[in-house]
Amino acid sequence: MSNFKELRTQNVSHGVIASTFADDQPLIDLSSPALKMVNNFTQKTPIRAEYETTITEALKQVSAQQSDYILVTDEHQKLVGLVSSADLQSSKITIIAERLNTPRSEVSLHDIMTPISQLKGVSMQSLSYACIGDALQTMEHQGTMFLLVTAASNEICGLISARQIAKKLHIPLHITPIASSFSQVLESIEHPH
């Protein structure tokens, strides 16, 4: 330890605990940079689960990590879809369980996920020139709650969540999902019994 020097110490017997102070971050609004709302996968690993994972198991993961979404992968860890935490708790699961003639507890992520083919993406470069309002407008126009973010190599490196924007900015959402198949239209219609 000869390479280090000893620090000068002081008497702390009359010391008091310092007051905490809020980090004075500027308020975020719709005109703030869109990059402020990107869940960057290179900075924080997103929750992932294989498509055969049950809804119950996925809900435990999402709740434990307080995430708005879970990325769905195949057996080779390739991204195949996405499920929102809201979908994991929605009546959509009961409808799908009835259609599949399976108990609700056995419905898997594969059964309720939004396939990657139906997800929309924007480049990180485009987002660097955009504001949060631009991203939200894009999601409203596309009828999607999420935008995947891509790097120059078309690698998916992040995600923007409409719910996260709404929660952070305390604004209502006006996103109506656009059905891309007849079965999705049927799922969205409530049948009277």
pLDDT, tens digit (0-9, with 9 covering 90-100), for 118-128: 999 999 999 99
Mean pLDDT of 108-132: 92
User: Which value, to the nearest 10 degrees, does the dihedral of the CA atoms of residues 186, 187, 191, 193 take?
Assistant: 130
Task: Give the confidence band of 73 by pLDDT, cuts at 50, 70, 90.
Answer: very high
In a domain, 139, yes or no: yes
Residue predicted with more confidence, 52 or 9: 52
- Residues 43-60: pLDDT tens digits? 988 999 999 999 999 999
Domain membership of residue 29 (yes or no) is: no
Residue type, 143: G
For residue 57, what is the DSSP state? H
Q: How confident is the model at residue 66 (pLDDT cuts 50, 70, 90)?
A: confident
Q: How many helices (H) and strands (E) does the chain have?
A: 8, 8
Average model confidence (pLDDT) across the chain: 83
Pairing relationship of beta strands 69-73 and 114-115 according to DSSP bridges = unpaired
Which tokens in the block code for residue 93?
């699961």
Task: Determine, yes or no, domain membership for 21.
Answer: no
What is the domain count for the chain? 1
Looking up residue 107, the CATH number of its domain turns out to be 3.10.580.10
Specify the DSSP element, H or E, that contains 177.
Answer: none
Q: Do the domain assignments include residue 22?
A: no
CA distance 166 to 28: 11
- Inside any domain, residue 185: no
Q: Kindly report the pTM of this predicted structure.
A: 0.75
pLDDT at 130: 92
Domain that holds residue 40: 34-177
134 inside domain: yes
Answer yes or no: is 107 within a domain: yes
Mean pLDDT calculated for residue range 9-21: 63
Instruction: Answer yes or no: is pLDDT of 79 > 70.
Output: yes
User: Using CA atoms, how far apart are residues 143 and 119, in angstroms rounded to an integer?
Assistant: 10
Per-residue pLDDT of 164-192, as tens digits, reads 999 999 888 877 665 554 444 454 544 33
DSSP strands (E only) in the chain: 39-40, 48-50, 69-73, 79-84, 114-115, 120-123, 146-150, 156-161
Name the pLDDT band for 9 (thresholds 50, 70, 90): low
Task: Count other C-beta atoms under 10 Å from residue 122's C-beta.
Answer: 20
Distance, in Å, from the CA atom of 174 to the CA atom of 42, rounded to the nearest integer, reads 30
Q: Flag whether pLDDT at 114 surpasses 90.
A: yes
Per the listing, tokens 């993406």 go with: 121
Exposed, middle or buried: residue 5 (CB in 10 Å: 0-12, 13-18, 19+)? exposed
How many Cβ atoms sit within 10 Å of the Cβ of residue 69? 23
